Structure formats: structure tokens, C-alpha cells
Amino acid sequence: MSEFLDQDIKFLPGVGPQRAEMLKKELKIFTFNDLLYYFPYKYIDRTKFYRISEITGNMPYIQLKGSIVRFETTGEGVRQRLIAHFRDESGVMELLWFQGVKWVKENVKAGVEYIVFGKPTIFSGKVNIVHPELEPAENKQISAGVFQAYYNTSEKMKQKFMTSKALNKFQFNLSAQIEGKIFETLPPSLISKLKLMPLPVALRQVHFPENPHLLKNALFRLKFEELFYIQLRILSLKHNREGSFKGFIFSKVGYNLNTFFSNHLPFELTNAQKKVVKEIRKDMGSGKQMNRLLQGDVGSGKTLVALMTALIAFDNGFQVSLMAPTEILANQHYNSIKKMTDGLGINVALLTGSTKKAKRTVIHEQLEDGSLQLLIGTHALIEDKVNFQKLGLVIVDEQHRFGVAQRAKLWKKNEFTPPHVLVMTATPIPRTLAMTVYGDLDVSVIDELPPGRKPIQTLHYYENRRKQVYDFIREQVTVGRQIYIVYPLIKESEKLDLKNVENGYDLLKQVFPRYSISMVHGKMKPAEKDAEMQLFKEGKTQIMVATTVIEVGVDVPNASVMIIESSERFGLSQLHQLRGRVGRGAEQSYCLLMSSYKISNESRKRLETMVRTNDGFEIAEVDMQLRGPGDLEGTQQSGIGFTLKIANLGRDGEILQHARNQASDLLDEDPKLQKQENQILVYHLLKMKNTEFNWSSIS
């Protein structure tokens, strides 16, 4: 990057100190380069002009040409609004301003021909545009091209008239000075091979496109480069790790795994489970440290795979730790693994925040003398006092709930050789996100449910169908089933959540006076929560009323109905996780999504997706398209440390795959990037944000 582009943004003509402060604070634009790489979020065709007579309801942004006949002002003070009667050869419409009235009165004149741009609405039969963009028709447009670029700004910026149009002017002022000051960032051979647009041309076209074809090529070039460097960094970290870290060699499959497989297997393994166990065995016998991500929907049998992996470690004389994000989940793993290994003579212990001091002392001693083979627990496992004699395998469940630093502490429990790492998640990760956030891990997927499980039927009901829902609950309880009823957790208002759940609990006691009902929410003490859950688990209560605390960690095969109240307030992945609490037994299970009539289009799409499919990966893809990758759980904790400026993981999957293939091919030819022409790649990789620790080593 040239010194010119390193200059403080305040030195750009038209910006100055005050606007520079606003750009820095609101958009993180500190330098000329930051502005150059602040890309438009959309483009509008500014070559087409509409006539007033052509305007209909629900039109996009349009452009008109005409003059203002007269102004009128209504209201006083903050309620004041300005109406301009705007005419072209086909008719008259209104332009409205609720803010900036003084500025409009001083700068916009009747009788002058203007180009008006905005989104029309029809109110009481009258066509109007609120807060339109106006410029005298005689003014030459900033862009001589077909499209006008639009930039995201903040409310604070708009109040200071720093709109998208102002950013467009800043970009224009920058483009006038930039000739010969942008240098290529990719090797000539790669540009030639892929026929990529040169970088200076791409940056010009993305801000001031001359035609659709050039804009398409510019977007491809910039998206490809962004994703290519991320993939190159991830894959080079993976190459380095595989070359630098030796792993423990688990060469034996002995008594523990063979006896378990022959006599203790709770159900026959699915083909998907067999495939994953095979992949894991190959990793752990290779002499390299395993770093594997195991994905599988709720109930797909990940815990069984994790246990079989642990048994291989025991057969080779190593200890294992399994870390879960909550006490409930840690307890569930402990109880199910104890049950499955009963009679094998394996020493398993549980360590959580609730473990008594005397028990902790015993655990610490047994870990250090090697007699404790498997320690299951929460973040209590990463305390400095917890020392293993020979830790060979670390299993992390629902890993997105742990920060990378927490996972690193567990990984560093061995002084010289790192343990094998198996990361598990029941939150399906879209393919594109897995290639970026977890791109340095080998991925295994359990995409098959155990035999005998029936797909959960999902139905969406509005409030007026509540009586039918209550009748359905009675039918299910009559045949011996149990019901979950979940209320939303709104972070901003825990009191409201509590009221929701408690009101729901009181109402249900009136509607179902003969049934026993449990209630669980986040404000209860752990002992109270566990007691209520235990009652439900043992079948002593028929209905469980809860907030999302039951999202993970409750396994009640007899519960066959999940009712989610105000389901429009939940994210897709959360709805999918909640639905996974039922369908654990052989009976047909149901998920009923209750919502009000007034829901947004996005909420409607979420609920329609839930009704249409049980496929967690399809749901994850839709979720990412609706919310964007930055909002998905886990991405902030990934440790990869990237922010996308132009590419979109929800829409640019093909470009991402292409970029990954090119990065992989390049590293196959030049693993350490030592060729002269690849020095440009080394330079830009070093410039990318580095984290303090090589997080890729610990997933």
C-alpha cells in the first residue's frame, strides 16, 4: 500500500477534522485506504426516469424530473413538516420533509427543474416521497456511469447531512487523486490464470461502475481476493501445524473398545457413525495431532462416537477430558457415559463448580497418578490445579460457547506433545462458514439419525388456534406423553421473560388442573432447576414450562411435543435446537410454533423453513442468508480474526470454494511460499491481523 493511501482521512478534500471524527467513530474509516475499501451495499440505475403518472404502490427507489410548484408548512416546532408540490408533464405529487426543514427552505427553490430520487408511497390516494434526494437537473452527476453506488451510514451521520451521497462525493474526490498509487496485491501468474480484472480498475468500477459487465467483474475480483487471502492464511496455518506438531500415536485397539463394541453398544451404529469413527482412528494413528470438528444434529449419536474415541485413548494408556459448557450438559454426559461403560472398569469422574472440596482433592490426586481415565466437566477443567499425568485426547462439546483462550488452556495441559482434539457441535454450520471459521480443521459429519427415529412433524399455529393446541396436549398426555412449552428469552428484559414464564405457568395450571407441571427459568438456583428437571425426567410431571435454558442438556425420550410460544422471536438455529429436545424416542414427535398474526417477512421465512425441513444444514444456510455470518453463534470466538468487507458467506459460496481451491493448489506447489513471485502473498499475509496465539492449533 502506498504512503498516499496511509494518510489521515481528514486531509481528503471535502472532509476536514469534524467530518473525519464522524467517519472514524461511526464507520471506522481512519485513512484514505479505509475509505477506498468501504464498499457500496447496493447500486441504483440512475439512467431511467419515471413519470408521476407511472407511479404505483410498492415500487422501489425511482428517479423523476420536474419542478416544484409551491411549498406549504404544517405543524409547529418538532411536529413541523414541509410539503413541496412537485410537477412533471404527467401530473403532480408531494415531497415531504419532517427533518431538516430549515435547510430545505433555504436551499431548494420553486420554479427550478430538479432530479428527484426516493421511494414513493401512496397515502390516502396521494403519491408522495418522504425525504427525497434533490439536485438541480443542470448539475452533472458525480458518476458518468450507469449505476449510482449507495453506502451504509449511521443515524448520527445522517443528522449531520453525511449521507450516502456525501460518501459518494468523498469517493469521487479520492478517485481524482489516486491514479498510479494503487499497487497489485496478487501474483501476476494468478491474475493471468484466472483472467482477473486489475486491482486499480476493480476499485474504480466498484465505486463508479460504467456498465453492468464491468461491475460484475470488479465485484468478482475484490470478493475473490478477500476470500483467497483468508483461505491462504487458514490453509498455511494448517500446513504449518501438521508439519510442526507431532501427535501421540494410538496404534492399539484393545480390551476397552472391543469389549464395549461387543457387549455394551446401546444401539447399532449408523453408517455415518461408522464412517466418522474410521476417520478418527486414522487421524489418531497417523503420528499427527488430530484436530477434527464433529458436526451432527441433536440426537445423531455424537456422544457415542466421542466415547468410542475415548476408549481408543484408554487402550493406548492415555487419559481423556471432555469439556461441556453447562453443568446440566456435563452431568448428562457423565450419567450417560457412566451407564454405557458400566462393567468395563473405567474410572470416570465429574468436575464442575458444584463439586465439593473433598471430592476435588481426590480427583486431582487420581488425575496426577493416572488412575482417573476420563474427566468430564465444565470450565472447571481448565483451572491451573487440574493436572493430568498423560492427557491424550481433549473432547470439547458445543465449542462455540467457550472462548478460544479457554480452549487453549485445556490444550496446553501437556507440556510437550499436544493432545488430539475432537470438537463437537449440534449447531449445524453452513458449508461456507465451516470453510472459513473452521477451515483449518478436518470436518466429520453425522448426517443420519439412529434407526427407529421418526422425523419430527412441525406445524405453525396462530393465536386463534390455541384451543386446538390445548386439545392436542390433552390427547398426548392421555396416551402417556410429556410436553415442553418454551417461552422466549429477550435479553433486554429478563423481568418480562420471568413474567412470561410465570404467567404461562399460572394459566396452564388453570387450563390443565389435573396435570402436574414443572417450571424452569434462568433466575432459579441450580438445585431448584435440577429438581424440577428431575421430576420431568422421571415422568412425575407431564408438562415442562421453561425459557431457553432447556435448549441444551435435557434428554427425555418420553417427551414428544415441543410448543414454542412467540416463536417469531427466536432465531432459526435456536428453534432447531429446541425442536431437537423431542424426537428422542421411537414415538412420533411434534413441534408446534405459536405466533401472533403480525410478524415480519423474515420471521415468516424462519417459521416456513422450520415447517418445511428437519435438515439442520439447510436450516443453517437459510439462517446465514437471513442474518449474515457475523451474527451466527461462534463466529466471534473463532480466533480466525477476519471481517469481510465485500464478500458475503451467505451468497458467495462458489467464489469461496474457488478461492480455497486456488489457495490449496498454490500451497501444494510452494508450501512455504518461498518463490519470488509469491513474496507479495507473504507480505499481505503478514499484514493480516495476527492473534497472540496460534489458535488454529487448538481449533
Find the CATH number of the domain harbouring 568: 3.40.50.300
pLDDT of residue 697: 40
Domain boundary among 586, 613, 640: 613
- Any domain includes 316: no
- Range with the poorest average pLDDT among 7-16, 302-311, 491-500, 513-522: 491-500
How many separate domains does the chain show? 2
Domain boundary among 546, 580, 613: 613
In this predicted model, what pLDDT tens digit does every residue of 109-167 receive, in sequence order? 888 888 888 888 887 778 888 888 888 877 655 454 568 888 988 888 887 878 888 99
**Beta-carbon count within 10 A of 542 CB:** 21
Distance CA(56)–CA(121), nearest Å, equals: 8
Which residue type is seen at 116? V
Confidence (pTM): 0.64
Name the DSSP letter for residue 690. P
Domain boundary among 84, 107, 133: 133
pLDDT of residue 244: 66
Residues 6+ apart with CB under 8 A from 129: 93, 94, 95, 96, 116, 118, 119, 120, 121
- Any domain includes 53: no
CATH code, domain with 117: 2.40.50.140
- Any domain includes 434: no
CA–chain centroid gap for 571, Å, is 11
- Any domain includes 586: yes
Name the DSSP letter for residue 381. G
Residue 4 has pLDDT above 80, yes or no: yes
- Any domain includes 452: no
pLDDT of residue 515: 93
**Beta-carbon count within 10 A of 612 CB:** 12
Percent of the chain with pLDDT over 90: 32
Q: Which of 384, 434, 433 is nearest to 413 (CA)?
A: 384
Distance CA(453)–CA(450), nearest Å, equals: 6
Residues 6+ apart with CB under 8 A from 690: 641
Q: How is 624-645 classified by DSSP, letter by letter? A: HHHH-GGGSTTGGGSS-----S
Q: Which domain holds residue 115?
A: 65-133
Return the biggest CA–CA distance within the chain: 94
Q: Which of 456, 311, 400 is nearest to 631 (CA)?
A: 400
CA 204 vs CA 36, 37, 141, 219, 229: distances in Å: 9, 11, 16, 11, 21
Cα–Cα–Cα angle for 213, 219, 224, rounded to 5 degrees:
130
Which residue type is seen at 595? S
**Grid cell 423431542 — which residue?**
582
Residue 264 has pLDDT above 60, yes or no: yes
- Any domain includes 95: yes
Which residue type is seen at 113? E
**Grid cell 418522504 — which residue?**
130
pLDDT of residue 437: 66
In this predicted model, what pLDDT tens digit does every residue of 603-662 receive, in sequence order? 899 999 999 988 887 888 788 777 665 544 444 333 344 578 898 876 787 898 899 999
- pLDDT, mean over the chain: 83
Which residues pair with residue 424 across a beta bridge? 294, 397
- Any domain includes 487: yes
pLDDT of residue 35: 95
Query: Cβ distance 215 to 206 under 8 Å?
Result: yes
**Grid cell 460484475 — which residue?**
216
- Any domain includes 370: no
CA 290 vs CA 239, 371, 431, 509, 553: distances in Å: 13, 24, 21, 52, 27
Q: What is the mean pLDDT of residues 293-316?
A: 88
pLDDT of residue 553: 52
